[in-house]
Amino acid sequence: MNEENCAVSAAGGIRILTIIGQIEGHTLLPPESKTTKYEHMLPLLCAIEEDESATALLLLLNTVGGDIEAGLAMAELIASMTKPTASLVLGGGHSIGVPLAVAAQRSFMVPSAAMTLHPVRLNGTVIGVPQTWSYFERIQERIAEFTVHHSHISRKRLDALTNATGELTQDVGSVLYGEQAVREGLIDELGGLDKALSWLRKAI
């Protein structure tokens, strides 16, 4: 991802950034994996905040998880921007895609999109020392607190959905589609590009 991914719409300087695939952090992913590199995203977000011609930011999201620390860094930066920000979930918002979606001042989701909530876990071999489980608990707490702070879902309900059994065949957690995500208070509004741009124009 480079600055070509940051396009200016015709709506008075609204910047559009895409966050797709896996969030790549310090560990490089295989070339065939579609990724968003956080070290490219962070300076782009800072540049938009400082650019006087940029009046607002629209994030287009379709994520499948990735590096938790990198995703949280991006989400915290988005949440601290002073210009109007909106996110639009298209396709999916898996794992770290949830805090990225709610980091914007207003979040939108198309009806067919899905958000997957599940506890932090790693694939492959895990060294079973007490510190490993303590780390998982602490980072899960950080994700949950960020999500609750930037959305309208309660902590109790978020924990229940994250730790649900019986819905995902090979995992713990829940999948929320557009209407349910709005009903649960995780996403602000059901809608697509037209609604997201309309809200940003009004916010500007």
CATH number for 37: 3.90.226.10
Active-site hit among 87, 95, 151, 174: 95
Active-site hit among 87, 94, 107, 118: 118
- Residue 34 CB partners (closer than 8 Å, separation 6+): 20, 21, 22
Q: pLDDT-based confidence at 6, cuts 50/70/90? A: very low
Domain span at residue 185 reads: 3-203
Q: Tell me if residue 118 is catalytic.
A: yes
Q: What is the pTM for the complete model shown?
A: 0.84
Query: Comparing 100-104, 137-141, 190-194, which segment has the lowest mean pLDDT?
Result: 137-141
Q: Tell me if residue 87 is catalytic.
A: no
The total of structural domains in the chain comes to 1
